[in-house]
């Protein structure tokens, strides 16, 4: 049967209003890739899978929620959507709005959005506005303006974003025949962890699948849920999750707690280390924020706070490496240049 996107495939599990008019880029249906080399690197015996969300149409998991949010907006003939974004939401909102013939406006923190994301938002035709402030400032602004004017907010405060993003949990269960024992996932504004937990709970009730333990992971410089208070000036190289006041923070803590998991933090070095291991050992290149979940799993495994032995673990990798090429090329410098002859080539490779 042809694949027609998430709303067609999982619509009966999604709480979307009748007026919803499907706008789809055939998002979702992303691979659950076994990662045996990386599991071996951890030094313990367990089954590890990567849910590679970077393979969505705009290169991140945001497309799952955006097909739902923009379809709802299109169905009630909304003319404009708006969001605050660290980049991926912006690109996704812009693409779906373009397809729906709706105007999109995206607010981003000045100078803190990776090249591939900004380029996407521009290419898809969004009006891009930089804020001399943080993501958190931008989010406050879009909430206020959408309360004042008939502009549809498509950040994950929008309940339909959560509905759409539940589908990744459904896909994982459908592929494995059950939920995994453990799910590790990066946490920024906390919409995604909220969605996965809602999705796993729904499948548990409808199909009897087990409930996974959820390990949510923030970056150390932007870890309000670990510290227990907002972070005024969040800072991390994982710019996607450079967020100090997560909109769904309470729900993220609840999800981790109810599932028997936790929310922890990893350093930028730990994030970059895991990005390199995942690319080098498995051929899966994801943007820095994407590996926070895996980096957190590795850290807890190494310091003995978590034993993955014998378990089936899914690591959600949220965005493609090509979103943020600079993080790699910056450290690499320029590849060496040689004369155009075999002798010169032999000299450098043998």
Binding positions for ligand F0G, rule: CB under 6 A: 60, 62, 85-89, 156, 186-193, 240-241, 287, 289-290, 318-319
Nearest distance in Å: CB 240, ligand F0G: 3
b/e per residue, 16-47, with b = 16+ CB within 10 A?
beeebebbbbbbbebebbebeebbebbeeebb
CB of 318 to ligand F0G, least distance (A): 3
Cα distance between residue 76 and residue 229, in whole Å: 38
Based on CB atoms, which residue is closest to ligand F0G, 31 or 75? 31
Closest separation between CB of residue 266 and ligand F0G, Å? 13
Nearer to ligand F0G, 28 or 188 (CB): 188
Q: What is the DSSP string of 301-329?
A: HHTTS---TT-EEEEEE-BBGGG-THHHH
Nearest alpha carbon to residue 61 among 214, 219, 148, 169? 169
State in angstroms the smallest separation of the CB of 247 from ligand F0G: 8
**What is the rounded distance in angstroms from the CA atom of residue 317 to the CA atom of residue 262?**
18
Min CB(4)–ligand F0G separation in Å: 25
CB-wise, 208 or 221, nearer to ligand F0G? 221
Q: Residues 103-130, buried b or exposed e (16+ Cβ, 10 A)? A: bbbbbbbeebbbebbbebbeebebebee
Residue 227 CB: number of other CB atoms within 10 A? 13
Of 47 and 235, CB closest to ligand F0G: 235
Instruction: Identify which of residues 5 and 87 has a Cβ nearer to ligand F0G in the complex.
Output: 87
């Amino acid at each position: 049967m042809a694949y027609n996107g998430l709303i067609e495939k999982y619509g009966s599990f999604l709480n979307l209003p009748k007026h919803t008019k499907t706008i789809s880029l055939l998002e979702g249906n992303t691979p659950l890739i076994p990662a045996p080399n990386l599991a071996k690197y951890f030094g313990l015996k367990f089954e590890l899978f990567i849910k590679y969300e970077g393979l969505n149409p705009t290169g991140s998991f945001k497309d799952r929620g955006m097909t739902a949010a923009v379809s709802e907006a299109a169905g009630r003939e909304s003319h404009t959507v708006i969001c605050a974004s660290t980049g991926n939401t912006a690109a996704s909102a812009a693409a779906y709005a373009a397809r729906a013939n709706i105007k999109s406006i995206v607010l981003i923190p000045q100078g803190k959005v990776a090249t591939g994301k900004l380029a996407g938002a521009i290419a898809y035709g969004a009006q891009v506005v930089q804020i001399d402030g943080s993501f958190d400032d931008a989010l406050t602004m879009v909430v206020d303006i959408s309360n004042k004017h008939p502009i549809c907010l498509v950040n994950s405060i929008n309940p339909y974003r959560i509905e759409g993003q539940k589908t990744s949990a459904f896909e994982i269960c459908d592929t494995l025949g059950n939920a995994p024992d453990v799910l590790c996932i990066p946490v920024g504004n906390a919409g995604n962890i909220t969605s996965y937990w809602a999705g796993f709970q729904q499948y548990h009730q409808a199909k009897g699948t087990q409930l996974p333990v959820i390990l949510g992971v923030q970056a150390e410089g932007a870890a309000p849920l670990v510290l227990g208070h907002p972070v005024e000036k969040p800072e991390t190289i994982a710019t996607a999750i450079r967020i100090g006041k997560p909109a769904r923070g309470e729900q993220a803590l609840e999800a981790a707690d109810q599932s028997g998991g936790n929310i922890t933090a990893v350093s930028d070095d730990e994030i970059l280390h895991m990005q390199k291991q995942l690319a080098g050992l498995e051929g899966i290149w994801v943007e820095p924020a994407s590996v926070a979940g895996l980096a957190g799993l590795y850290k807890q495994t190494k310091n003995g706070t978590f034993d993955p032995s014998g378990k089936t673990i899914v690591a959600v990798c949220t965005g493609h490496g090509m979103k943020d090429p600079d993080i790699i090329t910056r450290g690499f410098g320029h590849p060496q240049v040689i004369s155009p002859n075999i002798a010169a080539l032999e000299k450098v490779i043998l």
